[in-house]
C-alpha cells in the first residue's frame, strides 16, 4: 500500500478530489466479480471518446481538481478491513476528498469507521435497491448485505438516508426502525425528494439502485429502479454550501454481467457528477 498511496500522494499531487480503487469482493454473496469494477469505471471515465467536464461546467482535468491514485491491492488471505482503514486514514490525514471505486458494498463499513473520525457529524446518503442493514446474512456478520447495520450500531454517523429502496424484507424494515434510518422507497420517490440535508455528506452509491435496463452489470438485479437521470438529479440538487459532499463510494459494478459497458458508463457519469459536487463546495 505504501507504494500505491504514499508515493503517489507525496509526489506532489495537489488535487483536492482523489479517486482510489478498492477492488474487494471478498464479502459478496451470490456472485463475485465486483473486484473487477474499478478498472472498468476508469476505462470509461478517462476514455478519449468522452471528456471530463461535468454537467455543471466543472473541468475535472484542470490542475488541482482530480487525481487518480490507482487501486489498493488485495488478496483473499489478507485482512481487507484493516487495509481499507489504512488507505482511508492516509487520505483523510492529507485532507483529501476521496471517491472510492468498489468493490462490493462491504467496503463502506471500514471506510466510514475511519472517515467518521474526521467528520463526526456525518450524514450518509445511500443510493441502493437494498438497505444492506441485515444483522447477519447467510450466518455472517461481515457481508456486503450488512455494512450499514455495523455502521449504525456503532453510531459512526449522525444520520443515514436511503433512497431507491425496493428489495426490503421484514427484518430490514425492523432494522431501519431500530436505527432511525430515513428511507425513501422507490415506489414513492419523487424526482427531487426533500432529503433535508445539513452538514457533511458522504454519498454511497450502489449501482443496483438503477433499474437493470440502465445498469445490467450488477450481481443483484432488482427491477423497478431509478434511471441514471433521476439519480443525477438528486446528486445535483444537493446544496453544496449547506451540505458539502466530503466523500463517496461507487460500488457493486460487476463487469462480467455488463452489456456493452452500459453500467460502467453510468458509474463513470456518477463519479464525474459527485466529483463536481465536491469541487463546488471546495471552491465556494
Write down the pLDDT at residue 2.
46
Note if the bond before 13 is cis, omega within 30 degrees. Answer: no
Overall residue count recorded for the chain in this entry = 284
pTM (two decimals):
0.95
Query: What value does the mean pLDDT take over residues 211-232?
Result: 98
Ranking 11-25, 115-129, 208-222 by mean pLDDT, the lowest is 11-25
Ranking 45-49, 140-144, 149-153, 211-215 by mean pLDDT, the lowest is 140-144
In angstroms, rounded to a whole number, what is the distance separating the alpha carbons of residues 266 and 215?
7
Judged against a pLDDT cut of 80, whether residue 196 lies above it is answered with yes
* 11 contacts: CB under 8 Å, gap ≥ 6: none
Q: H helices of 46-169, where?
A: 80-93, 108-118, 147-153
Write down the pLDDT at residue 5.
58
Query: What value does the mean pLDDT take over residues 64-80?
Result: 91
Query: What value does the mean pLDDT take over residues 125-142?
Result: 94
Judged against a pLDDT cut of 80, whether residue 12 lies above it is answered with no
- pLDDT per residue as tens digits for the range 49-64: 999 999 999 999 998 8
The mean predicted confidence, pLDDT, of the chain is 93
18 with 249: CB under 8 angstroms?
no
At 261, list the grid cell.
Answer: 459497458
Ranking 75-79, 213-217, 268-272 by mean pLDDT, the lowest is 75-79
Query: What value does the mean pLDDT take over residues 230-237?
Result: 98
Nearest to 235 by CA among 261, 264, 210, 262: 210
Judged against a pLDDT cut of 90, whether residue 111 lies above it is answered with yes
Nearest to 247 by CA among 218, 204, 186: 204
Is the model more confident about 146 or about 1?
A: 146
Amino acid at each position: 500500500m505504501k507504494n500505491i498511496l504514499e508515493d503517489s500522494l507525496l509526489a506532489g499531487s495537489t488535487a483536492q478530489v482523489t479517486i482510489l480503487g478498492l477492488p474487494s469482493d471478498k464479502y459478496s454473496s451470490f456472485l463475485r466479480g465486483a473486484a473487477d469494477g474499478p478498472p472498468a469505471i476508469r476505462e470509461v471515465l478517462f476514455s478519449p471518446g468522452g471528456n471530463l467536464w461535468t454537467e455543471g461546467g466543472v473541468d475535472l482535468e484542470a490542475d488541482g481538481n482530480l487525481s487518480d491514485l490507482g487501486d489498493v491491492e488485495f488478496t483473499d488471505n489478507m485482512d481487507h478491513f484493516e487495509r481499507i482503514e489504512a488507505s482511508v486514514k492516509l487520505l483523510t490525514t492529507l485532507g483529501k476528498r476521496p471517491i472510492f471505486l468498489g468493490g462490493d458494498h462491504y467496503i463502506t463499513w471500514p471506510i466510514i469507521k475511519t472517515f467518521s473520525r474526521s467528520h463526526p457529524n456525518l450524514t450518509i446518503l445511500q443510493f441502493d435497491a437494498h438497505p444492506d442493514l441485515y444483522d447477519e446474512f447467510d450466518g455472517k456478520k461481515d457481508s456486503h448485505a450488512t455494512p450499514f447495520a455495523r455502521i449504525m450500531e456503532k453510531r459512526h454517523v449522525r444520520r443515514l438516508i436511503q433512497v431507491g429502496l425496493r428489495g426490503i424484507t421484514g427484518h430490514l424494515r425492523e432494522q431501519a426502525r431500530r436505527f432511525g434510518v430515513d428511507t425513501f422507497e422507490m415506489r414513492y420517490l419523487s424526482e427531487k425528494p426533500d432529503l433535508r440535508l445539513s452538514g457533511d455528506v458522504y454519498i454511497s452509491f450502489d449501482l443496483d439502485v438503477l433499474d437493470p435496463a440502465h445498469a445490467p452489470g450488477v450481481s443483484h438485479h432488482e427491477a423497478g429502479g431509478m434511471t441514471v437521470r433521476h439519480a443525477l438529479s438528486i446528486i445535483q440538487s444537493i446544496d453544496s454550501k449547506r451540505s458539502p459532499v466530503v466523500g463517496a463510494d461507487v460500488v457493486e459494478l460487476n463487469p462480467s454481467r455488463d452489456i456493452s459497458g452500459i453500467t460502467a458508463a453510468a458509474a463513470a457519469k456518477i463519479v464525474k457528477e459527485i466529483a463536481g459536487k465536491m469541487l463546488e463546495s471546495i471552491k465556494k
